[in-house]
Copies of this chain bind each other. A is one copy, B any other.
Amino acid sequence: MKLNILGCYSATPRTLTNPTAQLLEIKNHLFLIDCGEGTQVQLRKSKLKFSRVRHIFISHLHGDHFFGLPGLISTFRLLGREAELHIYGPKGIKEAITLLLKLGDSWTNFPLLFHELESKEQETLFEDDNVIVQTIPLDHRVYTNGFLFSEKPAPRNLNIKVIQKLKIDRSQFNNIKMGKDVIMDDGTKILNSALTFDPPQTKSYAFCSDTAYNEQLIPMIKGVDALYHESTFLDSEHHLTTKTKHCTAKQAATIAKKAEVGCLILGHYSTRYKSIELFKEEAVTVFDKVELAEDGKTFEF
């Protein structure tokens, strides 16, 4: 799993800082998470073949998380895209995009499929044999979801030596890969654990932005390999978190610690601070595995 940070700052695009957008490479998928203004330029800079994006997940309808979406869709159209594009986001997103395309008389010539969200409970948005994507309901000024991306366990690996020795027929291989035991002709039961090896460990990534400090999300992100959690402020601006429904670096680290995640990636920084290193310095006082998101940076896990 590889995470490409396209933009990780809050509020407005500036000369050197971009609003939220991430590209997640997971099991042959290229998922786009949020799409602030300028995301399509960041996609070009990433050198990834972004026409491969088929699923876009929008956390909420503040401009710094979705004002790049109309332009990206228009660009897909101009590039002659034919593949389906799925947009997952809060109710209203379909009306907004549809209106903009209608006003420009620029309807797409590829299928544009909206999946509008309004539930405050966790939902499954996408699932195939390899991956499942679920919402993480967050607590922000407007309706907002984080997203949980989990690899599904691969089939178990056959222990060919044992299988050949026992002369187990090929027709049973699929069942064995799926974890089933085998009953031999003489009635003996061979446990699956004797016939297979564990598959590679599955990985998971949770994206939580924007949100107030919210312990209710802990069970949903328990033990994920990587957690991106917003840290708009430092503790010195803690007084701003209640009204704005954002978090400090310390609060993000507290969530990471309680959820026992593999590592915490901070982002959505306010541009009021001189250095983003300050966010890391604050977070490591609570939780030790802290990384800083930066525009153009990638993380592999």
Contact = CB atoms under 8 A, between A and B. Distances in A.
A292 B84 CA distance: 39
A105 B68 contact: no
- Count of identical protomers in the assembly: 2
Contacts of A103: 61, 90, 92-93, 96, 142
Nearest to A105: B142
A232 to B, nearest CB: 13
Interface stretch (A10-18, A189-197, A281-289, A293-301): A10-18
Contact of A12 (B45, B75, B104): B75
Interface in A63-95: 63-64, 67-68, 70-71, 74-75, 78, 90, 92-93, 95
B74 A12 contact: yes
Nearest to A45: B15
Interface residues of A, number: 36
A41 B62 contact: no
Contacts of A95: 99
B141 A105 contact: yes
A267 interface: no
B37 A71 contact: yes
Contacts of A60: 104
A160 interface: no
A145 B93 CA distance: 29
B12 A106 contact: no
B41 A14 contact: yes
A238 interface: no
A68 B37 contact: yes
A104 B63 CA distance: 7
Contacts of A44: 14-15
A99 B66 CA distance: 13
11 contacts: A12-B78, A13-B71, A14-B41, A37-B38, A38-B38, A63-B71, A63-B100, A63-B106, A67-B70, A96-B99, A105-B141
Interface of A: 11-15, 37-38, 40-41, 44-45, 60-64, 67-68, 70-71, 74-75, 78, 90, 92-93, 95-96, 99-100, 103-106, 141-142
Q: Which 10 pairs show the lowest CB-CB distances between chains A and B? A: A61-B103, A63-B74, A37-B71, A12-B75, A92-B103, A67-B71, A62-B104, A61-B104, A105-B142, A15-B44
